[in-house]
Structure 1
Amino acid sequence: MARESVRRGAGQCQAFWAEGDLDDSVISLLSDTSALSLKSLRLISCNSICDTSLALTITKFTLLEELEVSNYLMDFSKTCAAAGKACPLLKRLRLSSGRFEDCRVSGDVEAAAIGTTMPELRSLQLFAKRISNGGLAAILDGCPLLESLDIRHCFNIVMNDELHARCSRVHTLRRPHDSGGPRIFGKINLAHV
């Protein structure tokens, strides 16, 4: 069904969202047919897709503005690096693990890729990832336009005074232990309240 949807899009597909049983061949077909029109790619629980092949394919989506890779058990650092270099319009990135990751192990490879290749990023969600304070600092340094940051269940991050101060420029922040709505920093425009 996914292959047929891509074919029927006739090269005009601007958003492709998939959940479940999807493999690399569908993403490859999408890149062959709609590479110059795709703006949003969301892959949720598509466990047959691997980081290496997605990293190769994503370089064709130069107009991509939104990327989501959610509910996976692996890291997608190669995909993050490739997307950051090939997709200059990328504004929103969502990465989440399929389960809560072991907090004793640090995993800042994705964070380093984001911080070094995505300076135009406005919205970032890293849910249940193993990043540390150092990885978050790399993101904050490399993504100066970040407006929304969701790091819920990233339990390797310890929100100390220094990190709180660094995050104060981010308008909407969801911290590692947050469960409710986002916390808003900055000025409130009373005309919109």
Structure 2
Amino acid sequence: MDPPADPADEFRNWLELPRNVTASILLRLGAIEILTSAQRVCSPWRKLCKDPSMWRAVDICNTDNCWNNYELERMCHDAVDCSCGQLVDISVENFGTDKLLRHIADSSSQLKRLRHVHCNDISDEGFSGVAAKLPLLEELVISYCPLSKEALKAVGRYCPLLKSLKFNSRRYGKYEEEAFAIAENMSELRHLQLFGNMLTNDGLQASLDGCPHLESLDLRLCLNVTLAGDLGRRCAQQIKHLRLPGDSTDDREFIVWWKREFIVWWR
């Protein structure tokens, strides 16, 4: 019979893990958990959590409503500072202000991906001023934020490398100006999502004319678009990956929010 196992052998000392393995584990926790918990566990973890390479991508989402907006903004501010200018990808959901956006832009000249969702305190003026500081931006997601054609024009003017835009609306009516702003200022786009936007065929036509390099186009729940005749054929020929107004939304990240607002409007 084998001798009883030493209890000490049954447990792995986490401090003995290779640094890259520990970093990989911590990154899976997310920015909020790192800032509020992980970096307080021990000195080695705290030192690792302060490494700028841990903060090249930051995703802060208040899905559980555990934090108020002030706390989230402070944590986002700290995460940006920890990156020491190495930040290339940031996602902010359910909070965000012009002041925070300015801090992100001032501290992150290498930023390539910016994603804002349900950030009601970001203005056209604030966003337009920030766009001028993000010349390397390649991907932009603006979902359910109160921004208009002015912000889109600024992005097109100051972000020449932009290849992907998701401009998803929660406003209702005809907002043809937004589609025309995209068409007139973002000729290098490869990917465009206008989920729930109320553009018409005229706006779609302008987008196809102004963005000749488009490879993917998402028009789901764009209820004023009718893809029939020549326009439908052109979309089928020009766009490799086309999502139609009536296509399924089951894979849409924030569809629950949109459906709730859509039902209120529809009634």
Q: Same fold (TM over 0.5)?
A: yes
What letter matches 1:173 in structure 2? L
Residue number among 139, 164, 171 corresponding to 1:92 in the alignment? 164
Q: In the aligned structure 1, how far is the partner of 2:244 from the partner of 2:202?
A: 15
For the residue of structure 2 that corresponds to 1:127, the secondary structure is coil
Check if 1:67 corresponds to 2:140: yes
**Structure 1 segments (4+ residues) deviating >6 Å:** none
Alpha-carbon contact 1:153-1:176 (below 8 Å) kept: yes
Residue number among 180, 185, 189 corresponding to 1:121 in the alignment? 189
Change in 2 beyond 3 A, CA 1:180/1:16: closer
How much identity, in percent, do the aligned residues show? 39
For the residue of structure 2 that corresponds to 1:158, the secondary structure is coil
Q: Which residue is equivalent to 1:177?
A: 246
Residue number among 154, 160, 163 corresponding to 1:82 in the alignment? 154
TM-aligned CA deviation for residue 76 of structure 1: 2.5
Q: Which residue is equivalent to 2:229?
A: 161
Question: Aligned ranges for residues 1-40 of structure 1 at < 5 Å?
Answer: 1-34=75-108, 36-40=109-113
TM-score w.r.t. structure 1 length?
0.86
Larger radius of gyration: 2
Q: In the aligned structure 2, how far is the partner of 1:163 from the partner of 1:131?
A: 14
Alpha-carbon contact 2:144-2:168 (below 8 Å) kept: yes
Change in 2 beyond 3 A, CA 1:181/1:161: farther
Change in 2 beyond 3 A, CA 1:44/1:63: same
Q: In the aligned structure 2, how far is the partner of 1:75 from the partner of 1:61?
A: 18
What is the number of equivalent residue pairs in this alignment? 176
TM-aligned CA deviation for residue 87 of structure 1: 0.8
For the residue of structure 2 that corresponds to 1:124, the secondary structure is strand
Structure with the larger strand share = 1
TM-aligned CA deviation for residue 180 of structure 1: 5.8
What letter matches 1:16 in structure 2? I
Q: In the aligned structure 2, how far is the partner of 1:148 from the partner of 1:5?
A: 33
Q: Which residue is equivalent to 1:48?
A: 121
Alpha-carbon contact 1:75-1:110 (below 8 Å) kept: no
TM-score w.r.t. structure 2 length?
0.63
TM-aligned CA deviation for residue 52 of structure 1: 2.1
Q: Which residue is equivalent to 2:217?
A: 149
Structure with the larger helix share = 2
TM-aligned CA deviation for residue 71 of structure 1: 2.2
TM-aligned CA deviation for residue 166 of structure 1: 1.7
Alpha-carbon contact 1:129-1:154 (below 8 Å) kept: yes
RMSD over aligned Cα, in angstroms? Answer: 1.6
